[in-house]
Structure 1
Amino acid sequence: MTASFHQTASPTEQLGRQEALALLGSVPIGRLVFSHQALPAVRPVNHVLLDDFVVIRAHHGAALLGPARDGAVVAYEADAFDVERRTGWSVVVTGAARIVTDPRLRRRYRDAVEPWVGGGMTHVVSIGLDMVTGFRIHPRPGG
């Protein structure tokens, strides 16, 4: 009897922290997940990894600013997939979101993150790297 693929090899591989962070740093866009009015909210944003934080910018009135003022725990996910080859990876960072108020850090982070959208992205938010998880999807044997 021949063993099936699922019994002999895993199509996914858990990533270590350093590899996951390297992949996260290799893409400019991810999705921020937070609670807004007691419901889950997801926003696509661009980011950089700097000083052991995911750093993003937000406009005045952004829904994220309330949770960030409170230091709420959020999740940040980024990924890349090759649909034809059925391969890819996904990384999730979970940590406290905080509005950056230190003038020196705020200037440094603002210079590092060029927002993709306009509209006065004057606020800078850092997300701690408290928990970093990731996985890679490998091609199936035989294509």
Structure 2
Amino acid sequence: MPYPSTQPPPVSRRLSRPEGLRLLGNVTFGRIVFISRALPGIQLVSHVMDGEDLLVGLPGDCEVVKLLTQLSPVVYEADVLDTATRHGWSIVLTGRAGLVEDDEEIARALRRLRPWPGEEISVVVRIHPELVTGTRIEDATAAAR
């Protein structure tokens, strides 16, 4: 027989654009979603914020880089979730992505990006967010503050 929890149930609330962008700045990885040969693709990548834009580091030989010879629509998702409490947040950013071509800007981004072990970042992509949506799941007392 399951025992009822003495904790209040978690509640979900929508996040504003500024809060979503701030939370994206608190993590260093997410997933870029793109379309290739009429099929969706998803790749785990590292990122840093540059104002409201997202800079994503990619290996030069990955599928996404081949698609970004011009500004292309992409979706980016990042989250932090605690599986024990089921609290956390998820942000989805939709925007246009393009390759960063300025050598100084690439060098600055490469100093800040933290690649995955064994990954070599050689390309930087800038995503300008057009739409930022998100959800935070927390206990009811935190949501009331």
**Short-chain TM bin:** 0.7 to 0.9
1:102 to partner: Cα distance: 1.4
Distance of aligned partners of 1:126 and 1:117 in 2 relative to their CA distance in 1, 3 Å threshold: farther
Comparing 87-96 with 66-75, greater Cα deviation is found at 66-75
1:108 to partner: Cα distance: 1.5
Counterparts of residues 74-113 of structure 1 (less than 5 Å): 74-113=74-113
Amino acid at match of 1:97: A
Aligned partner of 1:67 in structure 2 is: 67
3-state DSSP of counterpart to 2:124: strand
Provide the TM-score with structure 2 as the length reference. Answer: 0.82
1:113 to partner: Cα distance: 1.1
Provide the rounded CA distance (Å) in 1 between the counterparts of 2:13 and 2:119: 40
Provide the rounded CA distance (Å) in 2 between the counterparts of 1:38 and 1:140: 42
Amino acid at match of 2:97: A
3-state DSSP of counterpart to 1:130: strand
Amino acid at match of 2:111: D
Q: Which runs of 5+ in 1 are unaligned?
A: 1-8
Provide the rounded CA distance (Å) in 2 between the counterparts of 1:85 and 1:118: 32
- Structure 1 residue ranges, 4+ long, deviating more than 6 angstroms after superposition: none
Provide the rounded CA distance (Å) in 1 between the counterparts of 2:86 and 2:10: 14
State whether structure 2 residue 135 is matched by structure 1 residue 135: yes
Count of residue pairs brought into register by the alignment: 133
Aligned partner of 2:16 in structure 1 is: 16
Provide the rounded CA distance (Å) in 2 between the counterparts of 1:80 and 1:10: 15
Calculate percent identity across the aligned residue pairs: 35
RMSD: 2.1
> Which structure shows the bigger proportion of residues in strand conformation?
2
1:70 to partner: Cα distance: 2.2
Provide the TM-score with structure 1 as the length reference. Answer: 0.83
Aligned partner of 1:28 in structure 2 is: 28
Amino acid at match of 1:64: V
Amino acid at match of 2:131: M
1:138 to partner: Cα distance: 2.6
Q: Which runs of 5+ in 2 are unaligned?
A: 1-8
1:44 to partner: Cα distance: 0.8
1:131 to partner: Cα distance: 1.1
Provide the rounded CA distance (Å) in 2 between the counterparts of 1:97 and 1:118: 25
Provide the rounded CA distance (Å) in 1 between the counterparts of 2:114 and 2:89: 25
